[in-house]
Structure 1
Amino acid sequence: MPTRKHLQSVARNMAASFISRNNSLEGYWAIGKLCNFAEAQQTDKLIIDLLKGANGEISPPTEEFALPIHVYRRKLAAQLHGLGIPLEWAPRLVLTLLFNLQHGVENDSHYAQGQPYLCLCELTDDRGTSYRSRMGGYCRPHSQWNESRSGG
Structure 2
Amino acid sequence: MARRRELGSIASGIIGSFNSRNNDIDGYWGIGKIYNLVVTRESKTVSIDLKNKAISPTSNEFDAMLTFYHNMLTCLLEKHDIPLEWVTSVNISVEFEATYEDKYHYWRSALGNPCKLQCEILDDNGRIHNAYAYNNCRPHDPSRENQSSRAGNL
Give the structure-2-normalised TM-score. Answer: 0.89
Percentage of pairs with the same residue: 33
Residue in 2 that maps onto 1:135 = 133
Structure-2 separation of matches of 1:111 and 1:78: 33
Q: Does 1:25 align with 2:32?
A: no
Residue in 2 that maps onto 1:116 = 114
Structure 1 residues 2-151: aligned runs within 5 Å:
2-52=2-52, 56-104=53-101, 106-108=103-105, 111-151=109-149
Structure 1 residues 142 and 111: CA distance shift in structure 2, 3 A: farther
Q: Secondary structure at the match of 2:4?
A: coil
Structure-2 separation of matches of 1:90 and 1:48: 15
Gaps of 5+ in 1: none
Structure-2 separation of matches of 1:64 and 1:43: 20
Structure-2 separation of matches of 1:105 and 1:75: 31
Structure-1 separation of matches of 2:87 and 2:149: 33
Structure-2 separation of matches of 1:100 and 1:127: 34
Offset at residue 42 of structure 1 (A): 4.4
Q: CA RMSD in A?
A: 1.7
Structure-2 separation of matches of 1:69 and 1:94: 11
Gaps of 5+ in 2: none
Q: Output one character per residue of 1:68-93: Cα deviation in whole Å (capped at 9) or x when no partner.
A: 01100000011111111112212310
How many positions carry a matched residue from both structures?
149
Q: Secondary structure at the match of 1:12?
A: helix
Q: Do 1:104 and 1:137's aligned partners in 2 also have CA atoms closer than 8 Å?
A: no
Structure-2 separation of matches of 1:82 and 1:111: 35
